Structure 1
Amino acid sequence: MQRKYPNLCKPIKIGNVHFRNRMFSAPMGGTDITADCTIGRASTLFMN
Protein backbone atom coordinates (compact mmCIF):
# COMPACT_ATOMS: atom_id res chain seq x y z
CA MET A 1 0.00 0.00 0.00
CA GLN A 2 1.34 3.44 -0.92
CA ARG A 3 1.28 6.05 1.83
CA LYS A 4 -0.18 9.48 1.22
CA TYR A 5 2.69 11.17 3.12
CA PRO A 6 5.71 8.86 2.82
CA ASN A 7 8.16 11.22 4.59
CA LEU A 8 6.00 11.89 7.66
CA CYS A 9 7.67 9.26 9.87
CA LYS A 10 11.20 9.81 8.55
CA PRO A 11 13.85 11.73 10.54
CA ILE A 12 14.53 15.37 9.73
CA LYS A 13 17.26 17.84 10.69
CA ILE A 14 16.37 21.51 11.16
CA GLY A 15 19.46 23.58 11.83
CA ASN A 16 21.48 21.65 14.41
CA VAL A 17 18.45 19.79 15.81
CA HIS A 18 17.54 16.23 14.78
CA PHE A 19 13.92 15.03 15.04
CA ARG A 20 12.88 11.35 14.87
CA ASN A 21 9.82 12.17 12.74
CA ARG A 22 8.09 15.15 11.15
CA MET A 23 5.01 15.35 13.37
CA PHE A 24 4.89 18.58 15.38
CA SER A 25 2.24 20.14 17.58
CA ALA A 26 1.93 23.60 19.05
CA PRO A 27 1.45 23.93 22.83
CA MET A 28 -2.18 23.55 23.85
CA GLY A 29 -3.99 25.15 26.72
CA GLY A 30 -4.98 28.74 27.18
CA THR A 31 -6.56 28.49 30.62
CA ASP A 32 -4.06 30.92 32.14
CA ILE A 33 -4.83 34.01 30.04
CA THR A 34 -4.76 37.31 31.94
CA ALA A 35 -7.23 40.20 31.65
CA ASP A 36 -4.96 41.98 29.14
CA CYS A 37 -4.83 38.81 26.94
CA THR A 38 -1.27 37.78 27.79
CA ILE A 39 -0.01 34.43 29.02
CA GLY A 40 -0.08 34.14 32.81
CA ARG A 41 2.75 33.26 35.17
CA ALA A 42 1.78 29.58 35.58
CA SER A 43 1.80 28.95 31.81
CA THR A 44 5.09 30.81 31.40
CA LEU A 45 6.73 28.71 34.11
CA PHE A 46 5.33 25.50 32.61
CA MET A 47 6.61 26.30 29.10
CA ASN A 48 10.08 27.15 30.40
Structure 2
Amino acid sequence: MIVLGIILLVIGFAAHIGILWTLGIVLLVIGAVLLLLGAAGREVGGRRHYW
Protein backbone atom coordinates (compact mmCIF):
# COMPACT_ATOMS: atom_id res chain seq x y z
CA MET A 1 0.00 0.00 0.00
CA ILE A 2 2.90 2.31 0.72
CA VAL A 3 4.46 1.62 -2.67
CA LEU A 4 1.15 2.28 -4.44
CA GLY A 5 0.84 5.56 -2.54
CA ILE A 6 4.30 6.65 -3.64
CA ILE A 7 3.55 5.71 -7.26
CA LEU A 8 0.32 7.72 -7.22
CA LEU A 9 2.12 10.68 -5.66
CA VAL A 10 4.73 10.68 -8.40
CA ILE A 11 2.19 10.30 -11.21
CA GLY A 12 -0.07 12.95 -9.71
CA PHE A 13 2.82 15.37 -9.30
CA ALA A 14 4.21 14.77 -12.79
CA ALA A 15 0.84 14.97 -14.54
CA HIS A 16 -0.58 17.75 -12.31
CA ILE A 17 -3.61 15.63 -11.41
CA GLY A 18 -4.84 16.61 -7.96
CA ILE A 19 -6.96 13.55 -7.26
CA LEU A 20 -4.00 11.19 -7.78
CA TRP A 21 -1.90 13.35 -5.48
CA THR A 22 -4.61 13.20 -2.79
CA LEU A 23 -5.13 9.44 -3.17
CA GLY A 24 -1.37 8.91 -2.98
CA ILE A 25 -1.14 10.81 0.30
CA VAL A 26 -4.10 8.91 1.77
CA LEU A 27 -2.69 5.51 0.78
CA LEU A 28 0.74 6.45 2.08
CA VAL A 29 -0.65 7.48 5.47
CA ILE A 30 -2.87 4.40 5.79
CA GLY A 31 0.00 2.12 4.80
CA ALA A 32 2.32 3.76 7.33
CA VAL A 33 -0.25 3.41 10.13
CA LEU A 34 -0.83 -0.26 9.33
CA LEU A 35 2.92 -0.85 9.16
CA LEU A 36 3.45 0.78 12.55
CA LEU A 37 0.60 -1.19 14.13
CA GLY A 38 1.97 -4.44 12.73
CA ALA A 39 5.49 -3.61 13.90
CA ALA A 40 4.20 -2.83 17.38
CA GLY A 41 2.85 -6.37 17.67
CA ARG A 42 -0.82 -5.51 17.31
CA GLU A 43 -3.01 -7.63 15.10
CA VAL A 44 -4.29 -5.78 12.03
CA GLY A 45 -7.39 -7.18 10.39
CA GLY A 46 -7.05 -10.49 12.25
CA ARG A 47 -3.46 -11.00 11.09
CA ARG A 48 -0.40 -10.86 13.29
CA HIS A 49 1.67 -9.22 10.56
CA TYR A 50 0.67 -6.72 7.90
CA TRP A 51 2.39 -7.63 4.66
TM-score by length of 2: 0.24
Question: Relative contact order (C-alpha < 8 Å, sep 6+): which is higher?
Answer: 2
Name the structure where helix makes up a greater proportion of residues.
Answer: 2
Based on CA coordinates, which of the two structures has the bigger radius of gyration? 1
TM-score when normalising by structure 1: 0.25
